[in-house]
């Protein structure tokens, strides 16, 4: 008789918790292949970006660093004065900057506190950060990169202090980059899709964000040119039909072209000059004319110095690791995809880099950093639009590392360690980011010039009675910092009302805020304080007003009779 | 330290208060450092006068004193009296600076050898005149003390420890000591360099070789090391009287080099004393050219005091001076010139300063830590005593004294706190535990001693300063190569080099070994050093921040509008290139290059004679123009980039081309690889199909599909 004995059963594994299962599912989704329009893992990336972005917003808003840039305060002001002004209306958009960043900020600046603290821009920035991170992720996924590549690309965005800082401000870069990444993600879908997407889909998923980019910053205009070229080539390769290629190219370019046409028409209608933004009084070329005439745009027509200056800005905003991985990724993309449609998509993401170099070379842009000639901090943020491109290139390189047999995991661990070290290096001194160093410089400059105290004084002492102030004067872009409703101001944006108030301050404003800074180039470039220029010539002004604040370059007068 | 000269001269800083154990202030220290040192010594018990004085015949001038505070601490003005002269009268002018509070006017006491010779009312300008005799000369000098006694201190029961900070002050100017008699000419080499010297002129032959120039520069460097300001120094060629300092028989000396002809290459160096037509003592150093630099360097030697004859042979010093031995990365306070100990007392001297020059470390340092070892007296329970340590007036450490008497602190100094010359201050403060004032009759008996032999400042080799003048002299280590360019004439080149070497040496705690390489050798070396008489090409080759060409300076106020120059100018620059720090003196003129000679001389002279001397130089460029009274200091960043500078960056465009080529190659190789793979695959499939067809045509069935895996389709 034989006795059958069963082997002792292995102890049952504890069932994973639902949370663990949920986490595992999210992890798996980050490496899952794309399915039609769906790119698994996008929500995970969005939430991660949101969490990091909230921390950044809290840090910069609580310290006031988010409104350090004068341009940031100007953008907040433009958005609010569309509805809060003595002369509200669409023309308050002006011509200095393209309108989309100001327009989409409008819902956020309805609340005076959100506007005053700059938190309004931070909320918009959260949306932009999520969109940018998702854009990088989706492009990486569309071109066939695995989980490690996708995650690396995203981390290089959301762990970058330059990006995180700028996205908490009202500067135009976040909106531009969001629109560009939206366009690239759409293009990536079209290029890699086995299904022939329709012209309508092309128009909605690529043309619309491209149009947003064209009305955000002028880098967007070059995006349209580059994107159209890619669509033309890829369409031809797909069907070898010119008709199809032209149709798809038109579908891509129609909305951006329309947007550009609208901008020209707007300038023509409001300023009687369709190129007012290019050659008008407040155009960038006029504002930097004095600098150019003084020979301080040293990189103009000097290719070597242009590359030196801009690349240092890229390095000091993107970080060494991002640049190194990006360059390695460029070689990988060239080797792996050559000039295929996939590669063309990646290469066209570099349009911002090419545009910036060309702009510097032609002397159209003013940029300085601590390696330029002369050394200074100025407009380093122009390098930010390059970072998503570098992130995608880096993702391609990391993906290739993950495919290396045997040591692939080790190499990935090294990249991860390098990323941690770079982040720690930044955390110990955020001013290693050139855009943050520049912001800190502005904070110190405003403090030293008296601007910070002047704004605080007016905020604390204003008890109604209207303010006469030239907020367009150099160093006087302080309206959000002051925090008084814009309807209480007579300033340049109020047009004829401003002229009337300058002619007779005492009958219009109880408070007069002036900058006494005086330099020839301020007048030449139109940023001298018009109020100060006027009142110092009016003998009656001194009898009607008394100085209640004076520090550095700033002076505040209060009308003697209330 | 030289026993015969420096100890005698540096007593200017510390005479009269034995407890004061500060290091000798670096001559002509930088404004900030000098201010620190002066402030520290003001509370310590004595101050030195730093403003240059000018003698008139029959009179010995003394430096002015900027401020004498009403703190009851004596300020001593020391006047060296040459042998053979006897003082008769001392005169000075006292001027109120900050008036005393009403009702609390004190008195300024003028003392000599502890005797009050005159009492002066400090509330109004007053002329001081006190009689002197030969007995007032002690150790070769007359020491006149000025003590501003505040009114409160004269009240016996005043709470001295709780006196309010001194507010009233006076200044002292036009101090002079009238003398009678005839100065005795030196009879030995040891006597030649008297402590009473006011000016030394070093001369070399016209059109001298590099060896003789090196000898002259070594001599002026040695003398600068031995004689702090205000002793005037110059190096000139024999025929250049214009740039030589004025010397007189009593307080002046001439050192001249007379190279022997080439046939006497093995002859020893000899020295001989004489007097010139004006009666000025002259030291003539003769010998082979190659041996003269070592003889020049020996003029700061400690052993010179042993030369007890009118003529000597074999005068020589090679390498660096004995002070060079202390150029370690961890000098003790004693090495730094602070004496054997620092003694602080609550009732007396409450603080002391140790000057810490980066040059004392034998090179630049990136960060430092201070290790202080010492003892303090027992602190009664009724007293709170605190020792504070400051680095350049920034608190780096503090300790409440009590418990054990010994203390041993290590205090790190952040790199951002480092300057070329630093002031380390140790301060003792005491107070009754109750917070009440303590009457003068019951002063707090706390004393604190720092063991200067065991206390150290440890530096880490590195660089914490931006490129510019303040990287010198420490960037030189212990050697100073001086190369001559061709933009300066012989006389101007020698005079300029002499001034710059003297200025650098006066701010280095180690004696610099001067060499004179050719410009080509210097360009090819990796050493930091000085170029005198640089041309535009030299400035290009060395990548100076201001190329010697037309330029436009940015007016800092106007931000972008500049002050341009197409007129002749001279520039003295300090910059780093390829990891070496370089000083460059040169000039540019649109037509006549010689027009820059006087400008270059002016710029060089300014480094020695401006109020802060070397440490008075700010930024990294000093520009002299005929339209300017004094040279102006600029930052090279405030100069509109010159074409020659921007052209240096052209090569970076090449890198962009290389990157593009690499990408194209990668794409081409990738494409070729893919094609080859496709071709192989196609051939494999074709072969499979061919085989399939063969099998089919031979009546065999199709091959079985593989059991697993994938196939190309």
- B41 or A186, greater pLDDT: A186
List phi, psi (to 5°) of B412: -75, 150
Q: Is residue B560 within 8 angstroms of chain A, CB to CB?
A: yes
CB-CB neighbors (< 8 A) of A298 in chain B = 640-641, 645-646
C-alpha B631/C-alpha B634 separation (Å) is 10
Closest to A471 (Cα-Cα) out of A169, A134, A94, A12: A94
- B531 or B381, greater pLDDT: B531
| pLDDT band at residue B388 using 50, 70 and 90 as cut-offs | very high
Q: Is residue B653 within 8 angstroms of chain A, CB to CB?
A: yes
Best of A304, A389, A528 to disrupt the B interface (most B CBs within 10 Å) is A304
Restricting to A residues 490-519, those with a Cβ less than 8 Å away from any Cβ of B are 519
Tokens 């066939």 belong to residue:
A144
CB burial of residue B686 (10 Å; 0-12, 13-18, 19+):
exposed
Residues 6+ apart with CB under 8 A from A51: none
**SS3 state of residue A267:** helix
Name the helix (H) or strand (E) containing B272.
strand B270-275
Fold classification of B198-318 is Chitobiase; domain 2 (3.30.379)
* Helix ranges restricted to H, A319-429: 320-337, 341-348, 351-361, 387-402, 408-428
| pLDDT band at residue B408 using 50, 70 and 90 as cut-offs | very high
pLDDT of residue B445: 75
| Structure-block tokens of residue A352 | 């911002």
Restricting to B residues 655-674, those with a Cβ less than 8 Å away from any Cβ of A are 655-656, 659, 662-664, 666-671, 674
Q: Is residue A291 within 8 angstroms of chain B, CB to CB?
A: yes
Report, as an integer, the average pLDDT of A51-57.
98
Residues 6+ apart with CB under 8 A from B64: B49, B51, B53, B171, B172, B173, B174, B175
Q: Is residue A338 within 8 angstroms of chain B, CB to CB?
A: yes
Q: Please check the confidence at residue B27 and state whether its pLDDT lies above 50.
A: no
pLDDT of residue B551: 83
- Pairing type for strands A467-469 and A511-515 reads parallel
Q: What is the DSSP letter of A203?
A: I
Q: Is residue A445 within 8 angstroms of chain B, CB to CB?
A: no
| pLDDT band at residue B201 using 50, 70 and 90 as cut-offs | very high
Q: Is residue B711 within 8 angstroms of chain A, CB to CB?
A: no
Q: Please check the confidence at residue B383 and state whether its pLDDT lies above 90.
A: no
Q: What is the DSSP letter of B236?
A: E
pLDDT of residue B590: 86
Overall residue count recorded for chain B in this entry: 713
Note the Cα B147 to chain centre separation in Å: 31
pLDDT of residue B151: 72
Q: Is residue A487 within 8 angstroms of chain B, CB to CB?
A: no
Q: Strands (DSSP E) along B348-485, which ranges? A: 351-357, 365-376, 383-391, 394-401, 406-413, 421-432, 447-451, 456-461, 479-484
C-alpha A528/C-alpha A524 separation (Å) is 8
Q: Please check the confidence at residue B30 and state whether its pLDDT lies above 90.
A: no
| Structure-block tokens of residue B333 | 């306070």
- Pairing type for strands A554-559 and A511-515 reads antiparallel
Q: Quick check: ipTM above 0.90?
A: no
Q: Identify which of B562, B651, B667 has the shortest CB distance to residue A338.
A: B667
Closest to B4 (Cα-Cα) out of B247, B307, B245: B307
- A458 or B345, greater pLDDT: A458
Q: Identify which of B562, B655, B671 has the shortest CB distance to residue A338.
A: B671
Q: What is the DSSP letter of B573?
A: E
| Structure-block tokens of residue A364 | 């159209």
pLDDT of residue A288: 82
Alpha-carbon gap: A309 to the closest alpha carbon of chain B (Å): 10
Q: Within 13 Å of residue A66, how many CA atoms lie on the same side as its CB?
A: 30
Q: Within 13 Å of residue B506, how many CA atoms lie on the same side as its CB?
A: 29
Q: Is residue B416 within 8 angstroms of chain A, CB to CB?
A: no
- Pairing type for strands B479-484 and B513-515 reads parallel
Alpha-carbon gap: A556 to the closest alpha carbon of chain B (Å): 23
* Helix ranges restricted to H, B547-627: 597-609
CB B473 within 8 A of CB B440: no
Best of A353, A358, A360, A374 to disrupt the B interface (most B CBs within 10 Å) is A374
Q: Within 13 Å of residue A173, how many CA atoms lie on the same side as its CB?
A: 24
C-alpha B485/C-alpha A363 separation (Å) is 38
Best of B466, B560, B657, B665 to disrupt the A interface (most A CBs within 10 Å) is B560
Lowest mean pLDDT among A436-440, B127-131, B264-268: B264-268
Alpha-carbon gap: A196 to the closest alpha carbon of chain B (Å): 22
Q: What is the DSSP letter of A145?
A: -
C-alpha B630/C-alpha B619 separation (Å) is 16
CB A473 within 8 A of CB A515: yes
Report the percent of chain A where pLDDT is more than 70: 97
**SS3 state of residue B361:** helix
Closest to A88 (Cα-Cα) out of A512, A477, A486, A502: A486
C-alpha A379/C-alpha A394 separation (Å) is 25
| Structure-block tokens of residue B613 | 């001397």
Report, as an integer, the average pLDDT of A231-259.
95
Alpha-carbon gap: B562 to the closest alpha carbon of chain A (Å): 7
Residues 6+ apart with CB under 8 A from A496: none
Report the percent of chain A where pLDDT is more than 90: 84
Report the percent of chain B where pLDDT is more than 70: 82
Percent composition of chain B: helix, strand, coil (DSSP 3-state, to 5): 30, 30, 40
Residues 6+ apart with CB under 8 A from B151: B100, B103, B104, B105, B106
pLDDT of residue A55: 97
C-alpha B60/C-alpha B251 separation (Å) is 9
**CB within 8 Å: A303 and B560:** no
Q: Is residue B554 within 8 angstroms of chain A, CB to CB?
A: yes
Identify the top-confidence range among A50-59, A282-291, B624-633. Answer: A50-59
pLDDT one-digit tens code per residue, A99-158: 999 999 999 999 999 999 999 999 999 999 999 999 999 999 999 999 999 999 999 999
Lowest mean pLDDT among A9-18, A65-74, A158-167, B414-423: A9-18
| pLDDT band at residue A553 using 50, 70 and 90 as cut-offs | very high
**SS3 state of residue A150:** helix
- Architecture of the domain spanning B56-181: Sandwich (2.60)
CB-CB neighbors (< 8 A) of A294 in chain B = 552, 554, 560-562, 640
pLDDT one-digit tens code per residue, A305-327: 999 999 999 999 999 999 999 99
Mean pLDDT of chain A: 93
Report, as an integer, the average pLDDT of A35-54.
96
Annotate A435-479 with DSSP letters as a single string. HHHHHHHHHHHHHHHTHHHHHHHHHHH--SS-EEE-TTSTT---H
Q: Are B13-22+34-45+328-465 and B56-181 equal in CATH topology? A: yes
CB-CB neighbors (< 8 A) of B652 in chain A = 303-305, 307-308
- Pairing type for strands B232-237 and B199-204 reads parallel
Q: Is residue A324 within 8 angstroms of chain B, CB to CB?
A: no
| pLDDT band at residue B564 using 50, 70 and 90 as cut-offs | low
Query: Residue A46, Cβ neighbours under 10 Å: how many?
Result: 17
Overall residue count recorded for chain A in this entry: 562
CB B283 within 8 A of CB B271: yes
**CB within 8 Å: B641 and A298:** yes
CB B508 within 8 A of CB B473: yes
| pLDDT band at residue A301 using 50, 70 and 90 as cut-offs | very high
pLDDT one-digit tens code per residue, A189-204: 999 998 888 999 999 9
Closest to B477 (Cα-Cα) out of B577, B328, B257: B328
pLDDT of residue B708: 43
* Helix ranges restricted to H, B518-623: 519-524, 536-541, 597-609
Domain residue spans of chain B? 13-22+34-45+328-465, 56-181, 198-318, 478-490+510-645, 650-713
Identify the top-confidence range among A60-64, B45-49, B319-323, B326-330. Answer: A60-64
CB-CB neighbors (< 8 A) of B621 in chain A = none
Mean pLDDT of chain B: 81
CB B282 within 8 A of CB B273: yes
Q: Identify which of A298, A305, A334 has the shortest CB distance to residue B666.
A: A334
**CB within 8 Å: A304 and B662:** no
CB-CB neighbors (< 8 A) of A338 in chain B = 667-668, 670-671, 674
Q: Please check the confidence at residue B325 and state whether its pLDDT lies above 60.
A: no
| Superfamily per CATH, domain B13-22+34-45+328-465 | Galactose-binding domain-like (2.60.120.260)
pLDDT one-digit tens code per residue, B133-182: 888 888 888 899 998 887 754 444 444 445 555 578 888 888 888 888 88
| Structure-block tokens of residue B440 | 């003068």
CB burial of residue A427 (10 Å; 0-12, 13-18, 19+):
exposed
pLDDT of residue B696: 83
Note the Cα B446 to chain centre separation in Å: 36
Domain residue spans of chain A? 39-437, 450-559
- State which residue of chain B sits closest to A525, comparing Cα positions: B560
Q: Is residue B415 within 8 angstroms of chain A, CB to CB?
A: no
C-alpha A99/C-alpha A79 separation (Å) is 9
Beta bridge partners of B387: B399, B428
pLDDT of residue A7: 59
**CB within 8 Å: A337 and B670:** yes
Report, as an integer, the average pLDDT of B382-397.
91
Q: Please check the confidence at residue A96 and state whether its pLDDT lies above 60.
A: yes
Q: What is the DSSP letter of A84?
A: S
pLDDT one-digit tens code per residue, B455-512: 999 999 999 899 999 999 999 988 999 999 999 999 999 999 999 999 999 999 889 9
Tokens 């004190």 belong to residue:
B106
Tokens 């290396």 belong to residue:
A404
Under 8 Å CB pairs connecting chains A and B tally to 92
**SS3 state of residue A417:** helix
Q: Please check the confidence at residue A534 and state whether its pLDDT lies above 80.
A: yes
pLDDT of residue B402: 83
Burial B184-215 (b: 16+ CB within 10 A, else e): ebbeebbbbbbbbbbbbbbbbbeebebbbbbb
- B403 or B596, greater pLDDT: B596
């Amino acid at each position: 008789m034989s006795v059958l004995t069963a082997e002792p059963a292995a102890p049952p594994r504890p069932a994973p918790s639902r949370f663990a299962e949920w986490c595992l599912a999210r992890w798996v989704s980050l490496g899952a292949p794309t399915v039609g329009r769906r790119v698994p893992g996008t929500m995970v990336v969005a939430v991660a970006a949101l969490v990091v972005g909230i921390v950044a917003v809290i840090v910069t808003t609580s310290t006031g660093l988010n409104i350090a840039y004068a341009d940031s305060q100007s953008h907040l002001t433009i958005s609010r004065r569309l509805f809060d002004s003595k002369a509200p209306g669409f023309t308050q958009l002006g011509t200095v900057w393209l309108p989309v960043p100001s327009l989409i900020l409008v819902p956020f600046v309805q609340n005076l506190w959100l506007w005053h603290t700059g938190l309004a821009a931070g909320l918009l920035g959260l949306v932009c950060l999520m969109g940018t991170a998702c854009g990088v992720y989706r492009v990486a996924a569309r071109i066939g990169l695995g989980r490690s590549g996708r995650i690396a690309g995203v981390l290089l965005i959301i762990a970058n202090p330059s990006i995180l800082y700028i996205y908490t401000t009202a500067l135009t870069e976040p909106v531009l980059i969001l629109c560009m990444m939206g366009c690239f993600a759409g293009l990536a879908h079209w290029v890699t899709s086995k299904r022939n997407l329709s012209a309508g889909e092309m128009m909605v998923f690529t043309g619309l964000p491209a149009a947003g980019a064209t009305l955000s910053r002028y880098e967007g205009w070059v995006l349209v040119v580059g994107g159209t070229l890619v669509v033309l080539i890829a369409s031809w390769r797909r069907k070898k039909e010119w008709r199809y290629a032209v149709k798809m190219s038109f579908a891509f370019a129609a909305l951006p072209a329309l947007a550009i046409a609208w901008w020209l028409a707007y300038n023509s209608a409001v300023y009687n000059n369709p190129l007012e933004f290019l050659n008008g009084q407040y155009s960038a070329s006029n504002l930097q004319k004095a600098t150019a005439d003084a020979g301080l745009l040293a990189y103009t027509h000097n290719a070597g110095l242009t590359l030196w200056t801009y690349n240092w800005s890229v390095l000091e905003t993107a970080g060494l690791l991002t640049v190194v991985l990006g360059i390695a990724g460029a070689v990988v993309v060239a080797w792996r995809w050559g000039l295929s449609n996939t590669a063309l998509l990646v290469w066209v993401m570099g349009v911002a880099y090419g545009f910036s170099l060309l702009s510097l070379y032609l002397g159209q842009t003013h940029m300085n950093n601590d390696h330029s000639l002369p050394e200074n901090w100025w407009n380093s943020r122009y390098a930010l639009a390059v970072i998503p491109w570098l992130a995608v290139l880096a993702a391609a390189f990391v993906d290739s590392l993950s495919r290396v047999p045997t040591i692939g995991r080790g190499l990935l661990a090294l990249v991860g360690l390098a990323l941690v070290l770079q982040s720690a290096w930044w955390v110990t001194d955020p001013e290693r980011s050139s855009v943050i160093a520049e912001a800190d410089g502005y904070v110190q400059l405003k403090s030293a010039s008296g601007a910070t105290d002047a704004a605080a004084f007016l905020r604390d002492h204003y008890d109604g009675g209207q303010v006469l102030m030239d907020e367009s004067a150099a160093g006087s872009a302080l309206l959000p910092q002051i925090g008084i409703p814009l309807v209480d101001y007579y300033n340049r944006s109020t047009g004829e009302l401003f002229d009337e108030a300058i002619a007779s301050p005492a009958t219009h404003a109880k408070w007069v805020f002036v900058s006494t800074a005086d330099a020839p180039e301020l007048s030449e470039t139109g940023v001298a304080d018009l109020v100060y220029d006027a009142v110092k010539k009016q003998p009656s002004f001194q009898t009607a007003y008394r100085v209640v604040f004076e520090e550095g370059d700033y002076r505040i007068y209060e009308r003697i009779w209330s | 330290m030289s026993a015969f000269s420096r100890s005698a001269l540096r007593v200017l800083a510390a005479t009269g208060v034995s407890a004061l154990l500060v290091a000798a202030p670096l001559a002509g220290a930088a404004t900030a450092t000098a201010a620190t040192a002066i402030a520290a010594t003001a509370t310590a018990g004595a101050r030195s006068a730093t403003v240059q004085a000018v003698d008139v015949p029959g009179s010995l001038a003394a430096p002015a004193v900027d401020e004498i505070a009403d703190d009851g601490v004596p300020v001593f003005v020391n006047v060296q009296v040459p042998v053979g002269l006897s003082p008769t009268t001392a005169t000075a002018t006292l001027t109120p600076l900050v008036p005393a509070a009403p009702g609390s006017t004190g008195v300024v006491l003028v003392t000599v050898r502890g005797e009050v010779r005159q009492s002066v009312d400090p509330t109004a300008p007053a002329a001081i005149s006190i009689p002197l005799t030969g007995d007032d000369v002690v150790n070769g000098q007359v020491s006149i003390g000025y003590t501003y006694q505040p009114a409160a201190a004269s009240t016996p029961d005043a709470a001295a420890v709780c006196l309010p900070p001194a507010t009233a002050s006076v200044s002292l100017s036009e101090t002079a000591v009238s003398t009678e008699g005839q100065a005795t000419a030196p009879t030995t080499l040891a006597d030649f360099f008297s402590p009473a010297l006011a000016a030394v002129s070093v001369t070399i032959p016209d059109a001298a070789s590099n060896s003789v120039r090196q000898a002259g520069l070594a001599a002026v460097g040695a003398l600068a090391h031995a004689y702090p300001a205000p002793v005037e120094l110059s190096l000139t060629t024999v025929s250049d009287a214009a740039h030589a300092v004025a010397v007189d028989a009593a307080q002046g000396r001439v050192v001249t080099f007379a190279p022997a002809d080439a046939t006497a290459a093995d002859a020893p160096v000899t020295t001989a004393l004489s007097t010139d037509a004006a009666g000025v003592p002259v030291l003539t150093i003769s010998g082979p050219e190659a041996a003269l630099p070592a003889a020049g360097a020996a003029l700061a030697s400690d052993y010179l005091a042993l030369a007890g004859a009118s003529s000597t042979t074999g005068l020589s010093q090679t390498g660096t001076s004995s002070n060079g031995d202390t150029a370690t990365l961890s000098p003790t306070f004693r090495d730094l010139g602070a004496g054997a100990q620092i003694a602080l007392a609550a009732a007396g001297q409450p603080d002391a300063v140790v000057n810490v020059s980066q040059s004392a470390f034998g090179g630049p340092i990136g960060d430092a830590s201070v290790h202080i070892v010492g003892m303090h007296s027992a602190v009664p329970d009724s007293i709170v005593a605190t020792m504070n340590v400051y680095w350049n007036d920034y608190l780096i450490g503090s300790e409440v004294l009590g418990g054990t008497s010994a203390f041993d602190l290590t205090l790190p100094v952040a790199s951002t706190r480092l300057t070329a010359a630093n002031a380390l201050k140790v301060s003792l403060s005491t107070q009754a535990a109750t917070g009440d004032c303590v009457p003068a009759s019951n002063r707090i008996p706390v004393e604190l001693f720092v063991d200067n032999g065991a206390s150290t400042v440890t530096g880490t080799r590195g660089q914490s300063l931006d490129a510019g003048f303040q990287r010198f002299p420490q960037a030189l280590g212990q050697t100073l190569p001086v190369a001559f360019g061709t933009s300066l004439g012989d006389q101007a080149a020698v005079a300029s080099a002499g001034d710059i070497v003297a200025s650098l040496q006066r701010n280095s705690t180690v004696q610099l070994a001067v060499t004179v390489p050719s410009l080509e050798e210097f360009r090819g070396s990796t050493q930091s050093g000085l170029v005198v008489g640089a041309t535009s090409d030299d400035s290009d080759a060395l990548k100076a921040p201001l190329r010697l060409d037309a330029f436009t300076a940015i007016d800092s106020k106007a931000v972008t509008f500049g002050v341009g120059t197409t007129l002749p100018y001279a520039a003295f620059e300090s910059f780093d290139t390829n990891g070496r720090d370089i000083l460059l003196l040169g000039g540019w003129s649109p037509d006549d290059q010689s027009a820059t000679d006087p400008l270059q001389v002016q710029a060089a002279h300014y480094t020695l004679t401006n109020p802060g001397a070397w440490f008075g130089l700010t930024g990294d460029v000093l520009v002299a123009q005929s339209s300017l009274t004094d040279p102006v200091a600029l930052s090279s960043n405030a100069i509109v980039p010159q074409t020659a500078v921007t052209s240096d960056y052209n090569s970076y465009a090449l890198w962009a081309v290389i990157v593009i080529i690499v990408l194209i190659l990668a794409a081409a190789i990738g494409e070729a690889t893919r094609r080859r793979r496709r071709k192989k695959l196609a051939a494999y499939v074709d072969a499979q199909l061919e085989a399939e067809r063969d099998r089919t045509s031979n009546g065999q069935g199709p091959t079985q599909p593989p059991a697993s895996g994938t196939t190309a389709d």
